[in-house]
Amino acid sequence: MSLKNVRDRNDSNQMRDLLNHAPSSGPQEPGDLPRGENSKPPPKGSAAEEESDRDKEEKKGGEEGERRGEPMREREERTREREEWTREREERTREREEPTREREEPRREREERTREREEWTREREERTREREEPRREREEPTREREDPRREMEDPTREREEPRREREEPTREREERTREREEPTREREERTREREERTREREEPTREREERTREREEPMEVGVSPSGGAVWLGEELALMRRGLEYREDPGELQFGPRHTVLINLLDFKKDKKLRPQPGSNLWNSDHVKMPNSTRNTFNKQGMFGSDEKLRWDLIKKKLSKLSNVTKSETIEEVIKSYNVNYKTEWKFDALHKYFETEEPKRELFRVVKAMAELALKLPDICPKAIPLLKQGTSHSLTLSQEQISCLLANAFFCTFPHRNSTHPRAEYSNYPDINFNRLFGESSKRKQQKLKTIFQYFRSVTEEPPQGLVTFERRSLAGRCDWKRCDSKISKLHITSMGTIEKDGTGMLQVDFACAMVGGGVLGSGLIQEEIRFLTHTELIVSRLFTEKLGDCDALCITGPQCYSEYSGYSDTYSWDGPHTDTTDRDRWMRRCTKIVAIDAIKFKNEQQQFEMKNVDRELNKAYCGFKPRVQAQCYLPVATGNWGCGAFNGDIKLKALIQIMAASKASRDIVYFTFGNEELVQEIWDMHNFLQKQHFTVGKLYSVLETYCERKRSCSAGDLYDFIYHSYADLKSKH
């Protein structure tokens, strides 16, 4: 063996020993070898060199992987962003599709019904197949017998094959025709579905029309001994009335068009009716109060005149009534602070009342309590009371105790500047409020009036009422276009029995008013309005602050209480004793009694009322009173009667139509009292029934009235109702 071979063998053995004895601990890179004095690189082609190269490639590949990992993370982030954006887009799509889903619900219901029908059809087909199974089994032998015959028929089929091939294009054309006809069938199905839905919607309409037909057939519920109808139309019990139909006034609160004379904080806290603090105002926009520091008079003395407060004098004189024993004392007290009228005012009616009324001791006790109540004015009514002027819409709410205090002062004639009747006097456009006219010129009417008024003061001094009353002046902003009004004619109950105030409970009750509200209640007048102001005595206080009503004004009073029973009318009026009012109260502690005062035109010549300007005026006046204050689904019916047809010379038939038209425009039904006129019940009902059956609107009826008024000027028109009947018949014959 040569020396070279020995040396190579030693080198390989030495390398093997190093590999076998390499340390296994310590941080080493893959493929590294321990470095020492005798360390050498592995020979080329050896196993160690291959392992070292593999480790280097793996390290290089790892570095390249790290470099490639960075774009991968960016791609993943972009992928996540795209997924988030996709989710947001899907959410927006879902939101947009929700209305579509809602619209598709009826379609789904139709599809479900279609599926149900298809399932039912399948079940029926399956049952049919089940029934046919035995028949097929019975037919099998027959088919087997027919097989040889079919084999004989095969040549015939082969001859028929070319004919079928010729018929194939024809079948394809027929199939294409069927495909074109399918959209048409689908449209027809949709049309049928729409027609079904239309029929379903029309079902309630048909039911309402049937009920309307039933209502249009008049039903008499009793006749009088003379054979006339007692009432016709809707049953009174079915007319909208009661708590569920009362118009909600909302929360009681101050406002630019609402003055409240009680403390709202106390009212909302514990329903206590304490006065609202304030001060009197001596100007043309407010009531001039007796206790104002501006209410003075000049007292003559040794060294000239001295200005004194009139309220101090009133307090001194009214204090004398604490021991009153005769009516002459009342006269002396009233004249002591009304010196200018000392010789003009008479007290005959008052003295006669005290002479005939028993027991006198109890009567004088009431007078003493009234004087004490009047003197509480500065404490009970400290806040200024606004005047409800023409052309304005404003409300005034005050307590029943405040009203009683104001009326006690009116009885003792303490209100300044309210006694003159001169046309240029400061309050010439307001009704009188002091009671001096009631005390003079004794009559049977005034004796009954004094009985009614003293019953009120007896009630409020013994047990002061705890409630509120609201006086609302309404004014139309503009005239109505009646010719274009498309409101339908409202329902009607008409009766010859009963009265507005007793049988119109729970309704909007019409006061046939004078322009000066209250009319002759403090004088000799004693018809519908005066009787209402006497029995519901709190209404009289409206004369203190309500200016004369204009052509488009009305006064609505909510919450007055009834204190007296009565019978008769005008000269036959009689006070029949006290009345206990049990009417419910609303959220504002007001009695649920609602009265609207509307004044009709007083015609000297009856022909004037058939001028359209006067018809328009009456329509606007009635609508101003009937128009609801707030929007609601339904409103109280109007309880009314022969408005403006007595001393005002109105035509009953025309006034009835005017009120029906105004109530219809205001969406209110009508309860009409004819006050014993049975013939009128039938006439008005026949006309109302005719108007409803012929589908008259308010505008259409207005046009007929225009034609009638034109004919009336030339005296070529007869009865109003006959004209309406004939006009419609002529119009129908032309068309």
State whether residue 672 is helix, strand or coil.
strand
Tokens read off for 289: 């109060």
What is the pLDDT at residue 359? 85
Helix extents (H) in 611-677: 612-626, 652-665
Q: How remote is the C-alpha of 617 from its chain's centroid?
A: 27
Q: How remote is the C-alpha of 118 from its chain's centroid?
A: 49
Q: Please state, in angstroms and as integers, the Cα–Cα distance from residue 435 to each residue in 335, 414, 511, 627, following that order.
A: 12, 10, 22, 33
Q: Which residue do the tokens 């456009």 mark?
A: 429
- 501, 530, 599, 678: the catalytic one is 530
Phi, psi of 692 (to 5 degrees): -70, -45
Q: How buried is residue 725: exposed, middle or buried, by Cβ count under 10 Å (0-12/13-18/19+)? A: middle
DSSP E strands, 265-401: 296-301, 304-309, 394-399
What is the pLDDT at residue 34? 41
**What's the rounded Cα separation, in Å, for the pair 276 and 380?**
9
DSSP E strands, 89-234: 231-233
**What's the rounded Cα separation, in Å, for the pair 409 and 396?**
19
Phi, psi of 49 (to 5 degrees): -65, -40
Is 529 considered catalytic here? Answer: yes
**What's the rounded Cα separation, in Å, for the pair 390 and 554?**
10
Give the CA count within 13 Å in the CB-facing half-sphere of 379.
6
Amino acid, res. 709: C
Tokens read off for 54: 């593999």
Is 144 considered catalytic here? Answer: no
Tokens read off for 90: 């899907």
Tokens read off for 199: 């029929």
Q: Say which residues have a Cβ less than 8 Å from residue 689's Cβ, sequence separation at least 6.
A: 216, 218
Amino acid, res. 462: E
Give the CA count within 13 Å in the CB-facing half-sphere of 627.
18
**What's the rounded Cα separation, in Å, for the pair 661 and 699?**
9
Identify the DSSP state of 609: G
Give the CA count within 13 Å in the CB-facing half-sphere of 344.
9
Q: Which residue do the tokens 């795209």 mark?
A: 82
Taking 3-state DSSP, the helix, strand and coil percentages for the chain, each rounded to the nearest 5, stand at 55, 10, 35
Is 196 considered catalytic here? Answer: no
With CA atoms as reference, report the closest residue to 556 among 472, 444, 660, 499. 472
Identify the DSSP state of 546: B
What is the pLDDT at residue 107? 75
**What's the rounded Cα separation, in Å, for the pair 163 and 156?**
11
State whether residue 155 is helix, strand or coil.
helix
Q: Say which residues have a Cβ less than 8 Å from residue 307's Cβ, sequence separation at least 6.
A: 296, 297, 298, 299
Residues 546 and 573: beta-carbon distance below 8 Å? no
What is the pLDDT at residue 131? 74
Q: Please state, in angstroms and as integers, the Cα–Cα distance from residue 509 to each residue in 231, 431, 470, 504, 715, following that order.
A: 19, 22, 15, 7, 36
Helix extents (H) in 230-291: 264-270
What is the pLDDT at residue 315? 97
**What's the rounded Cα separation, in Å, for the pair 483 and 697?**
10
Q: How remote is the C-alpha of 259 from its chain's centroid?
A: 23
Tokens read off for 7: 């040396």
Q: How buried is residue 49: exposed, middle or buried, by Cβ count under 10 Å (0-12/13-18/19+)? A: middle
Q: How remote is the C-alpha of 566 from its chain's centroid?
A: 36
DSSP E strands, 264-314: 296-301, 304-309
- How high is the mean pLDDT in each 10-residue block of the chain (735 residues)? 50 54 44 43 51 57 56 83 86 76 71 80 81 66 53 52 60 70 71 71 57 48 57 85 61 94 94 94 96 91 81 96 94 96 96 91 96 98 97 96 98 96 93 97 96 98 96 91 96 95 93 97 96 98 98 97 96 96 94 97 93 97 92 85 94 97 96 94 96 95 95 85 86 56
Q: Say which residues have a Cβ less than 8 Å from residue 667's Cβ, sequence separation at least 6.
A: 487, 490, 628, 634, 635
Calculate ∠ Cα 510-526-625, nearest 5°: 15
Identify the DSSP state of 611: S
Residues 674 and 681: beta-carbon distance below 8 Å? yes
Residues 473 and 517: beta-carbon distance below 8 Å? no
Identify the DSSP state of 388: B
| pTM greater than 0.75 | no
- Encode burial over 576-614: b for 16+ CB neighbours within 10 A, e otherwise: eeebeeeeeebebbbbbbbbbbbbbbebeeeeebbebeb
- 234, 401, 432, 511: the catalytic one is 511
**What's the rounded Cα separation, in Å, for the pair 624 and 488?**
18
What is the pLDDT at residue 199? 67
**What's the rounded Cα separation, in Å, for the pair 560 and 691?**
36
Helix extents (H) in 412-552: 436-439, 444-462, 500-503, 528-535, 542-545
- 472, 501, 529, 538: the catalytic one is 529
